[in-house]
Amino acid sequence: MMALLGRDLALALRSGGGFGLSLAFFLIVVVFVPFGVGPDTEVLARIAPGVLWIAALLSCLLSLDRIFQLDWEDGSLDALVMAPLPLEGVVAMKALAHWLTTGLPLTVIAPLLGVLLDLPGPAAPWVFLSLLVGTPALSLLGAFGAALTVGIRRGGLLLSLLVMPLYIPTLIFGALTASRAGEGLDFLTPFALLGGVTLLAAALIPFAAAAALRINLR
């Protein structure tokens, strides 16, 4: 298991695409928002938590198709299925590797980019914490979408269409936590629910994604 995690991290770091690209995309989306809605700091401060969440979610989507596609194309996936690892564990490790290379860096950088949007001080730590708790669900659900579409050529767009409705609860609870913290309202309820969604995804998705992979390998 750790071997798989190590390999996937090495692959993500060494291939030009994954790691830096989603961070750059995140930056660009955040920079574009003031261009779109105007530089009024009051407006920006109000929408900042939600914008950061949506931008993080979109950046997460970019690298999803790599989770299984490359291993499928070069035959590694066949060999992994035959290997003495439970396929559910393989899915969990791959989702973890995806999170470590996209979700975690996005989480770390989000409060910094919040400065650009005049993110209110009290909201900053909760943007960080809500992303920290919520983005693992994005990677897990993304792995499920990637498992469904692994056999489809150019399945990237379809993958986004399948995965984004599944992201809705995480987005609602995550953005709600951060924005309520900024307004000084109760944010612990959505925060707890956000954690609940992530735990549910962690419990359910590895099995669903492994089932989808087995179906696709037939």
Least Å distance, CB 155 to other proteins, is 7
Nearest to 201 by CA among 141, 131, 130: 141
Q: How far apart are the first and last CA of the chain?
A: 24
Distance CA 143, CA 64 (A): 7
Name which of residues 134 to 163 contact other proteins (CB under 8 A): 141, 144, 148-149, 151-152, 155, 158, 161-162
Burial of 2 (0-12, 13-18, 19+ CB in 10 A): exposed
Name which of residues 197 to 216 contact other proteins (CB under 8 A): 197, 200, 204-205, 208, 211-212, 215-216
Out of 105, 169, 182, 206, name the contact with other proteins by CB under 8 A. 169
Least Å distance, CB 16 to other proteins, is 10
Chain residues that interact with other proteins, rule: CB under 8 A: 2-4, 6-7, 10-11, 14-15, 73-76, 78-85, 141, 144, 148-149, 151-152, 155, 158, 161-162, 164-166, 168-169, 172-173, 176, 189-190, 193, 197, 200, 204-205, 208, 211-212, 215-218
